[in-house]
Amino acid sequence: MAKLILLRHGQSLWNAANKFTGWVDIPLSEQGRAEAMIASCKLRAHNYRIDMCFTSMLFRAMETAVICLTECDEICGNKIPIFKHDATDPNWHGWDKYEGNGEDELPIFPTVALDERYYGDLQGLNKQETAEKYGKYQVQEWRRSFNVRPPGGESLEDTLKRTLPFFQEHILKQVTQGNNVLIAAHGNSLRSIIMSLENIPEQEIPHLELATGVPIVYDIDVTGKMTRKLILN
């Protein structure tokens, strides 16, 4: 049975500063890089092997994926991770013309569909200061509710509408064909996927918290149904 492994990126510099990040492209902190390394070691300890990886287009997710796949390279069968850029993107200088070598390389597919929820006017603001200004319940609703948008931003429902179709068409398809897939992404894009996998109701999703750098492993059968979940704390 194939494995689907979800990994929220390691702590970013703005996570450490308690700021709303969203689509701002912030790198990992020292702790975040360590979390990605530890995640790799946990996957190796459980003898998991990765066949392919999907990430968002934000650097903190791509950085997490690369560290995880190269710290303990046994988890990708000692293959070399290689980013496979979208052929429609004019900025990748012909990368799409390289078809790759499946025996030696592990493909990483970056996509905007897995990007973090867009926090609009809140991006760059300190979370505690914002709660003091607008009230902690209002800020909690902006951060965790299903269909309430922060000012100028996306709701979780908006995020789900771009994340879930890509997941079902491209990622879940690979898993049901027997490939072990790692997704390195963000709290809200992963929350959207988990809602679908675990059939979590809208009213319960505000209570779902995802730690940075902690792999969540699902066994997925050939129909796309989740049969087992393991959190590698």
- Residues labelled catalytic: 9, 116
In whole angstroms, give the CA distance from residue 231 to residue 200. 17
Known binding residue 187? Answer is yes
176 carries a ligand binding annotation: no
Cβ–Cβ < 8 Å for 45, 222: no
64: closest CA among 98, 114, 19, 125? 114
Whether 18 has a binding-site annotation, put simply, is no
**Cα–Cα separations (whole angstroms), residue 21 to 68, 119, 124:** 22, 7, 6
The response to whether 116 counts as a known ligand-binding position is yes
**Is residue 117 part of an annotated ligand binding site?**
yes
Has 91 been labeled as part of a binding site?
A: no
Residue 141 in marked binding region: no
Query: Structure tokens of 92?
Result: 């990748």
Q: What is the 3-state secondary structure (H, E, C) of 60-108?
A: HHHHHHHHHHHHCHHHHCCCEEEECCCCCCCCCCCHHHCCCCCCCEEEE
Classified as helix, coil or strand, 73 is helix
> Does 101 show up as a binding residue in the annotation?
no
Contact between 185 and 64 under an 8 Å Cβ cutoff? The reply is no
Residue 85 CB coordination number (10 Å): 17
> To which H or E segment does residue 218 belong?
strand 215-220
Return the structure tokens found at 142. Answer: 């902006």
81 with 91: CB under 8 angstroms?
no
Residue 71 annotated in ligand binding:
no
To the question of whether residue 149 is assigned a binding role by annotation, the answer is no
* Residue 124 assigned as binding residue: no
Whether residue 48 is annotated as binding a ligand: the answer is no
Which residues define the annotated binding site for substrate?
A: 8-15, 21-22, 60, 116-119, 127, 143-144, 187-188
Which residues define the annotated binding site?
A: 8-15, 21-22, 60, 116-119, 127, 143-144, 187-188
